[in-house]
Each structure stands twice: as structure tokens, then as C-alpha cells.
């Protein structure tokens, strides 16, 4: 723990010298490699500065509508870029986003994990916040799931997405505000802010997803064939469905898409961007679980 109270786990193989970080990253296959990357000096400063309660305009975008107001409390510790503790002992997981993961066991930290945790600490540590809950108020580990808003209006999820220190990752019952968050992510990605400068977080081409099994990825490409088989929709991205990447939507999910105005069977030839857990079933596959997990892109 640092003197300012932020809980940070810095990988043993990480050396910090001025604004340059040398860290030992483990590639998907083969031996670890040493990479050199420069930390942007203003990365976490855009809207993080300023104590809670400062008079003036709200810093950054407003939290989305449709959330349920929850408890208020003072932030006492930062576990990582996506998890904080309140003084009353509540552990809060920031809903709707995925931040760079710290080192765990023999798994090295993701790029910019320390920077994300530090940014959250600068914004929230010692400040009063209000929790705003999606439909699911807790995750399976008993942590409170919430959008976190500082008492001067700073919305933590929006701030992290704006500065490129998080990407959108929702579930069916945590998707409130997803479209707004996707817009913020898209702007940061276009500007190559934060994680979007790192190859580790790049939007995947469907053809390269064999190297991304058992991980969360954002995948973008043109649908070669959209088919419905026994009620399940398959968006295939190559001529061989036994090997090429596929998005799948089970019958109940396909109906949810239909109610949202998206006919998955009508997407042949369209360019889409989806996200989720990549697993092997014939070829690499992601199960679509809700409409906010798939963007149909303009041509």
C-alpha cells in the first residue's frame, strides 16, 4: 500500500523510470518479451483533478439515466482500476466496463493496469461518492455493482472511457447506459488514447481470434453469412463455419435482438463489431447475450 492509501500491486518484473515503463509481458505463445512503452503525462489528468465539491461545471459527461440510486459513502481504498472500497466495508465493482487487470498469481499485469488504478485513486480516494445501480446490484462474488459518481458529479466510468483507461463490457442486466459508454469508447479509440495505443487491446480481426481463446475481446469484421439454424442465429465470418470465427445468438437472445429492431438473419454483408468471451466451438466463437454487445456499423 502506498503512503496515500492506494492499494496497488506492481508486478515484480516492472521497472518504472521517469515516464518510461519497462515491463515484462507474456505473449500468447513462446517466451516472455521485454517491451518499452511511454506513459502519456496527461493521460489521467483530463477531468480527474479538483477536489469533490468544487464549484463550477460538472467534470466530464453525466452518468446515464435509468440507474437506481443507491448508498453514498467515502472511498477508503482502491483495489484496482475497476474496484474500490468504501469506509463502511462495501467493495464496489464499477459496472459496465472492463479496466486493465493487475497481476494475479503467475499472470502478469495487463498494460496500463497501474495507470488505471492510479487515475481512480486520484479521482476518488477520500471523496464522497454515490452508487447508481443497474438491474443487477451485486456480482457473483458479492461485490456491489454500480456506476460511481463523485459528489461534484464526476462519473467514474465515463471518465475512464474518455481517457482510454477502460473499455465497455456489459451483461444483459448491467447494460444501462451502454450506448453512451460505447460512444465515449469510440471517441477514445479514434484518438488512440490510453489502452487504444496498446496492441494488447486492439480490436481483433475475426481471422486472428484463434490466438485469443479464453479471453474477452472486441471483434470487428464483415459477416460472410448470417444463418438461423433451429432458432439459433449464427454470424459467420468465413466460408468454413467449422473453423472460422462466429457470433452466436441462442433463440431467446435472438428474440431480444428482434425486439430491439435488429434482425440477425439480415446481417449478411454488413460490418459489425461485437464483444465477449472467446471460446472454441468448431472455430472461435462469442455468444451474444444482449443487443448492446453488438454494434451494426455504418458503411
CATH of residue 97: 2.40.50.90
Same domain, 128 and 23: yes
Same domain, 247 and 230: yes
Residue 249's CATH number: 2.40.50.140
pLDDT for 14 beyond 60:
no
pLDDT for 111 beyond 70:
yes
Number of structural domains found in the chain: 2
Same domain, 19 and 103: yes
Residue 5 lies in a domain: no
Tens digit of each residue's pLDDT (9 = 90 or more) over 29-64: 233 322 333 334 344 444 454 444 444 566 888 999
Do 44 and 119 meet the contact criterion of CB atoms below 8 Å apart?
yes
Same domain, 25 and 159: yes
Same domain, 213 and 128: no
Provide the terminal-to-terminal Cα distance of the chain, rounded to the nearest Å: 49
d(CA 114, CA 11): 9
d(CA 72, CA 14): 36
Given the C-alpha cell 486520484, which residue does it identify?
A: 122
Residue 129 lies in a domain: yes
95, 111, 117: which is closest to 2 by C-alpha?
Answer: 117
Same domain, 178 and 235: no
Tens digit of each residue's pLDDT (9 = 90 or more) over 160-200: 999 999 999 999 999 999 999 999 999 999 999 999 999 99
Same domain, 216 and 163: no
**pTM value?**
0.81
pLDDT for 203 beyond 50:
yes
Boundary of a domain, candidates 144, 179, 197: 197
- Domain with 224, as residue range(s), is 203-296
Same domain, 210 and 187: no
Boundary of a domain, candidates 197, 229, 250: 197
Under the banding of pLDDT at 50, 70 and 90, the label for residue 286 is very high
Q: What percent of the chain has pLDDT over 70?
A: 81
Q: Which residues of 120-136 are buried (b: 16+ CB within 10 A; e: fewer)?
A: bbebbbebbbbbbbbee
Residue 3 lies in a domain: no
d(CA 155, CA 152): 9
Same domain, 152 and 208: no
Under the banding of pLDDT at 50, 70 and 90, the label for residue 298 is confident
Amino acid at each position: 500500500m502506498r503512503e496515500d492509501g492506494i492499494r496497488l500491486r506492481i508486478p515484480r518484473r516492472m521497472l518504472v523510470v521517469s515516464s518510461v515503463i519497462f515491463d515484462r509481458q507474456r505473449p500468447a505463445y513462446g517466451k516472455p518479451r521485454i517491451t518499452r512503452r511511454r506513459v502519456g503525462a496527461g493521460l489521467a489528468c483530463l477531468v480527474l483533478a479538483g477536489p469533490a465539491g468544487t464549484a463550477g461545471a460538472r467534470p466530464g459527461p453525466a452518468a446515464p439515466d435509468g440507474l437506481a440510486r443507491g448508498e453514498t459513502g467515502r472511498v477508503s481504498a482502491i483495489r484496482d482500476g475497476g474496484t474500490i472500497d468504501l469506509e463502511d466495508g462495501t467493495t464496489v465493482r464499477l459496472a459496465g466496463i472492463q479496466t486493465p487487470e493487475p497481476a494475479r498469481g503467475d499472470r502478469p499485469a495487463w498494460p496500463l493496469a497501474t495507470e488505471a488504478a492510479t487515475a481512480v485513486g486520484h479521482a476518488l480516494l477520500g471523496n464522497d461518492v454515490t452508487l447508481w445501480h443497474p438491474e443487477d446490484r451485486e456480482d457473483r462474488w458479492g461485490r456491489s455493482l454500480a456506476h460511481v459518481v463523485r459528489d461534484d458529479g464526476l462519473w467514474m466510468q465515463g471518465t475512464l472511457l474518455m481517457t482510454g483507461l477502460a473499455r465497455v463490457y456489459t451483461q444483459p442486466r448491467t447494460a444501462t447506459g451502454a450506448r453512451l459508454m460505447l460512444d465515449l469508447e469510440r471517441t477514445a479509440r479514434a484518438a488512440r488514447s490510453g489502452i487504444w495505443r496498446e496492441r494488447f487491446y486492439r480490436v481483433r480481426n475475426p481471422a486472428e481470434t484463434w490466438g485469443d481463446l479464453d479471453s474477452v475481446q472486441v471483434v470487428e469484421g464483415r459477416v460472410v453469412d448470417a444463418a438461423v439454424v433451429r432458432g439459433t442465429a449464427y454470424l459467420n465470418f468465413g466460408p468454413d463455419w467449422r473453423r472460422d470465427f462466429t457470433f452466436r445468438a441462442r433463440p431467446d437472445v435472438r428474440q431480444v435482438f428482434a425486439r430491439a429492431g435488429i434482425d440477425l438473419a439480415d446481417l449478411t454483408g454488413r460490418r459489425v463489431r461485437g464483444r465477449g468471451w472467446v471460446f472454441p466451438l468448431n472455430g472461435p466463437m462469442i455468444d451474444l447475450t444482449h443487443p448492446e454487445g453488438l454494434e451494426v456499423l455504418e458503411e
